[in-house]
Amino acid sequence: MSGFLKIAIRNLLKGPVTDPYPFGKTFIPNKLRGKLKVDPKACTACGTCEEVCPSGAIHITKNENVYVHTTWYNTCCFCGNCEFFCPTGAIKLTNDFHTANTEEEKYRFTTVALISEIKCESCGEMFVPASEALLKRAYPNVNDTIRELTKLCPKCRRKKAFERLYQ
Amino acid sequence: MSTKIPIGPFHIGLEEPIYFKIDLEGETVKNVDMINGFVHRGIEYLAMQKNFFQNLILTERVCSLCSNNHPFTYVMAVEKIAGIEVSRRANYLRVVADEVKRIASHMFNLSMLAHLIGFHSLMTQTMEAREIMQDIKESIWGNRMDMSANTISGVKYDLDEGQIEYILKRLDELEPQVDEIIDIYFNHKIVKARTVGVGVLPKEDALRLGVTGPTARGSGVNNDVRVKAPYAAYDELKVNVILEEGGDVHARTKVRWREVKESIRLVREAITNLPEGPVVLDKRPHIPAGEAVTRSEAPRGELIYYLKTNGAQKPERMRWRVPTYMNWEALRVMIPGNKLSDVAVIFNSIDPCISCTER
Ligand code: SF4
Ligand code: SF4
């Protein structure tokens, strides 16, 4: 009995161990997987996140000249698969875990990122350019020639790159 | 005079949805019949509708307490089919995640034991000590239960100096608490009165029924997959198998506690000797057609995965055998002859996971 008595007395002296949350502070580690943040500048609307999301929480739809990247929190299970597989690092799970919402907000409780297309400098076709983050992943050092190429649509880019070979 | 008593399927003392039909004579159980299947979720079918990357997460959701072992065994099956070599560092990191989960899972089951024998202050004390493991999981992997540590060809996380230091510090905090609580579980008269000689599973029956995990080791059967068929980094880390001879609830309790200590040692050893190298391959592999069977030692016992692929993005068939499946039948040996009030305690002592069994 003495073993447990010791613990009991120590606990009495120590006071409660539970956090007073939501009225006070609680322990929130930096790496906690909570609501996610999508950086539209880094995202290239490649659809990888949509593909690997196990619960189908991510939808990428296209409106005129802009891709809409929507994450539904009532479906998301905060697994972090999208963050891990995103080739450009555009998705980050933040440590904001406040996901209580009313039934009324059910269809509005989302994160939306807009990825707009740009006009091809050569032919005027609309397309999504490769982001800086993607270039950094693809090339050991990103120079201006490569950056110039991102302003062209895939078709014109191919043409230009081919021409360069024979100049 | 004999009476029939139903316990379950949803009963406060059981914690899991299962139905016991009990024949009583006086206070003693004469016979028991068990019926399950109340929470079937069709996950095996669902796994065939999802691609290999989605299944990393789906398999993790089969059960929250063995939630690391399911994707772990699943990725080993995928890697076997695709012929992928995992780096040494990734293998060590897999072991770290797995042993952290084992400590938390065992301690949860042990605190449930304290709850079922009515020793509530002991239960809260065990849970509070376990909270250290929950903090580690949250700080390193980002979630209290589903760590999402494994991916095909490696792991999704890496440990830097600071994180290693943090884990070591928290383990140093945990270990004296564990020692203190272990003493109570092993020697306190209330615990002993409710566990010694209760729910005995003799060694012959354990062998005959093929029980797995701590249930088998509590009856003196050495079947630890980590030792018998080492995977990941277990052949380098040398696990000491914990065996007890009693075969009763007390013996299984002892096995779990001693395994908690062993796992603490393993985590320490793995993170202080982390080999250098990449944690995951750069290129996402193609999964060719093939078949594989892999197994691992989950906190509850041996977990087996069978995977069949046909070269497409999704498995053609996936099936798993979970530890509770085998341990379940042993209840027919353990329960008869005991008091009615011991049924829940005995049931808990196999560390049942209905959520895996009825996936
Ligand atoms: S967030 Fe990442 S994975 Fe998703 S579409 Fe954008 S770039 Fe692709
Ligand atoms: S965290 Fe998981 S469930 Fe949520 S959007 Fe990302 S992949 Fe989907």
Q: State the DSSP code for A74.
A: T
Model pLDDT, residue A113: 84
Q: Whose CA is nearest to atom 7 of ligand 1?
A: A43
Residues 172 to 231 of B: which have CB under 8 A from any A CB?
180, 183-184, 187-189
Q: Which residue has the tokens 């398999």?
A: B59
Helices B161-187, B88-116: crossing angle, 10 deg rounding: 30
Q: Residue B57 — φ and ψ, nearest 5°?
A: -85, -40
Taking alpha carbons only, the member of B196, B205, B204, B195 closest to residue B330 is: B205
Around ligand 1, the residues with Cβ closer than 6 Å are A 38, 43-49, 86-88, 90-91
Cα(B307)–Cα(B329) distance, integer angstroms: 26
- Specify the amino acid at residue A90: A
Model pLDDT, residue B234: 87
Cβ distance B284 to B154 under 8 Å?
A: no
Q: Do A81 and B135 touch (CB under 8 A)?
A: no
Chain B closest CA to A1's CA: distance in Å? 7
Model pLDDT, residue B34: 84
For the residues A138-167, what does the mean pLDDT come to? 81
Sequence ranges of the domains in chain A: 29-116, 118-166
Q: Which residue has the tokens 């209290």?
A: B144
**CATH code, residues A29-116:** 3.30.70.3270
Residues in chain B: 359
Cβ distance A135 to A146 under 8 Å?
A: yes
- Indicate if ipTM > 0.85: no
Q: State the DSSP code for A78.
A: -
Cα(B151)–Cα(B256) distance, integer angstroms: 28
Cα(B351)–Cα(B15) distance, integer angstroms: 11
pTM (global) more than 0.80: yes
Mutate to test the interface with A, among B50, B57, B135 (most CBs of A within 10 A): B57
Q: Which residue has the tokens 């009963």?
A: B11
Residues in chain A: 167
pLDDT truncated to tens, each residue of chain B (359 aa)?
A: 678 888 878 777 677 788 888 888 888 888 888 888 888 888 889 888 898 889 989 988 888 888 888 999 999 999 889 888 888 889 999 999 999 999 999 999 999 888 888 888 888 889 889 989 999 999 998 888 888 888 888 898 888 888 899 999 999 989 888 988 888 888 888 888 888 888 888 888 888 888 888 888 888 888 888 888 888 888 888 888 888 888 888 999 989 999 999 999 999 988 988 888 888 887 778 888 889 999 998 888 888 999 998 888 889 888 888 888 888 888 888 888 888 888 888 888 888 888 888 88
Atom of ligand 1 at shortest distance to CA of A42?
7
Q: Do B156 and A84 touch (CB under 8 A)?
A: yes
Cβ distance A33 to A93 under 8 Å?
A: yes
